[in-house]
Structure 1
Amino acid sequence: MRISTVTFLAVVAFAGCATVQVSQDYDPNADMSRFGTWQWRDPVQDATGDIRIDNPLLDKRIRHAVEAHLASRNISPSQGQSDLYLTYHLAIEQKIQSDTYYSTMGVGSYYHPWYGGVGTETRIRQYDESRLTIDIYSAGTSALMWRGVGVFRLRNHKTPGEAAEEIRKIVDMILSQFPPGGQP
C-alpha cells in the first residue's frame, strides 16, 4: 500500500513539472484580422542581472522559436514597414512548494486502546518558476494589441537541442492563442 502511494505521488509530481500554464490578454477593439509582416521591437531583452536570463544563447532560442512559429502561420519577418512589432520578456522567480502526505497509520493495542493515529510527513521544496511573456503591438499605433504568457518550471537540460525543443514547445503554446477568438 505504501509503495503504490509513493509511486503515485512521484508520478503526479513529475507530471506537474512538465506543464506550462498559458494565458492571454488582448484589446478587444484591436483589428487583428489583417497582418502578414512583423519585426522585433527591441533587438534584445533588457538586462536583468540574472545570468540565467541574460543569456545570449537563450535569447537566440526564444527568438528562433517565435520566428519559426510565425513563419508556419505565413507571418513573415520584415526589415521595413511591418504590421506587427513583437517583444518578449523572461522572468524567473523562486517559489516554494509543500506536500503533505500520510505516511503511517496505527491503532491501539489491547492494553492501550487509546493509542493510535496517523503519521504525516511534509516536504518543502524550492524551485524556480519562469514566466515568458510575448507582446504583440500594432505597428500603426504602437499600442499593445495582445499579450501571451507561459508559466513553467525552469529546468536544466543535458543538451542545447533539448533546451531549444522545450523553448519551441512553450512558445508554440503561447502563440497558439494568437489571434484571439479564432481570428485568422
Structure 2
Amino acid sequence: MNAMRFDFRHVAVLLVALLLTACATGPRVRTDYDPSADFSRYRTWGFYKPIAMEESGYSSWISDRIKDDVRREMEARGYRYVESDPDLQVNFQGIVREKTDVWSVPRTDYQYFYSYRRRAYFAMPFWYDDTQVHQYTEGTLTVDLVDAERNRMVWTGAAIGRVTKRTPHERLAEVDKAIASIFAQYPYRAGSTVPVATD
C-alpha cells in the first residue's frame, strides 16, 4: 500500500476545525464588502468550484459540515440553492498561522547592601520590565460570496481564534459557531438591497 502523501491543506482543514475558542463569547469576526455590488440582484446561490478548502482534490467531514452550515444560513436568508448558473457562489477557506505575543510586565526587586557606618544590611528597591513571550496557533475561517456573473467577490467574512485541542464532536460544534458568527454579520436577504440589523 502506498504511503499517504502529506498534504498541508488537509492538515490546515483539521487545524481550523480546532479553532475559535479564545474566549467564551466566540471568535473575532471581521467582514468587508464591495460597495458597488447590487445585492438586490442575488436570489440564488451555489458553491464555488473548486472550493478553496478542497483544492487538494478531496473533501473532509469538516468541509462537509461547513457546507451544511452555509446551506442553512443562506436558506434562512431566502436564497435558493441551484446547481447551475447561481447568482452568488459561496467559497470558504481555512488558514493556520503561528503567532507570537510579546508584552512587558513591571516588576520590583531588591538589592541588599551592607552599611559599615550603620553596621547593618539595608534593602534598595529597583524596578524593571520583565518581557513575556507567548507562542500560539491562530486559525482563520473565511467565507466569500462571489458574484457568479462577474466572478467578483462582493462580501467576505472571517472568524478568527486560537487553535486548541478539541474532541471531534467539539470541533464540529466550533465550526457551527464560527459559520453562525460570520453570517450573523451578513446584512442582506435574497432580492433585497436594504440591510437588516446584525448582532
Q: What's the TM-score once normalised by structure 1's chain length?
A: 0.72
Give me the whole-angstrom Cα distance separating, in 1, the residues matched to 2:54 and 2:81. 24
Q: What's the offset of the Cα at 1:88?
A: 1.0
Give me the whole-angstrom Cα distance separating, in 2, the residues matched to 1:20 and 1:36. 29
Residue in structure 2 matching 1:141, options 150, 164, 171: 150
Give me the whole-angstrom Cα distance separating, in 2, the residues matched to 1:22 and 1:179. 14
Give me the whole-angstrom Cα distance separating, in 1, the residues matched to 2:194 and 2:159. 19
Runs of at least 5 residues in structure 1 that lack an aligned partner in the other structure: 1-15
Give me the whole-angstrom Cα distance separating, in 1, the residues matched to 2:108 and 2:42. 61
Residue pairs, 1:59-70, within 5 angstroms: 59-70=63-74
Give me the whole-angstrom Cα distance separating, in 2, the residues matched to 1:64 and 1:105. 57
Identity value in percent: 23
Match of 2:5 in 1: none
Give me the whole-angstrom Cα distance separating, in 1, the residues matched to 2:108 and 2:71. 53
When you count helix as a share of all residues, which structure comes out higher? 1
Deviates more, 1:89-98 or 1:68-77: 68-77
Give me the whole-angstrom Cα distance separating, in 2, the residues matched to 1:103 and 1:58. 45
* 2:36 pairs with 1:29: yes
- What do you get for the CA RMSD once the two structures are aligned? 3.1
Aligned residues: 164
Give me the whole-angstrom Cα distance separating, in 2, the residues matched to 1:162 and 1:182. 36
**Which structure has the bigger radius of gyration?**
2
Residue pairs, 1:1-184, within 5 angstroms: 17-18=22-23, 19-45=26-52, 56-102=60-106, 106=110, 111-113=120-122, 115-118=124-127, 121-158=130-167, 160-179=168-187, 183=195
Which structure has more relative contact order (CA 8 Å, sep 6+)? It is: 2
Match of 1:10 in 2: none
Give me the whole-angstrom Cα distance separating, in 1, the residues matched to 2:179 and 2:194. 18
Asked if 1 retains the 8 angstrom alpha-carbon contact of 2:87 and 2:147, the reply is yes
Q: What's the TM-score once normalised by structure 2's chain length?
A: 0.67
Runs of at least 5 residues in structure 2 that lack an aligned partner in the other structure: 1-20
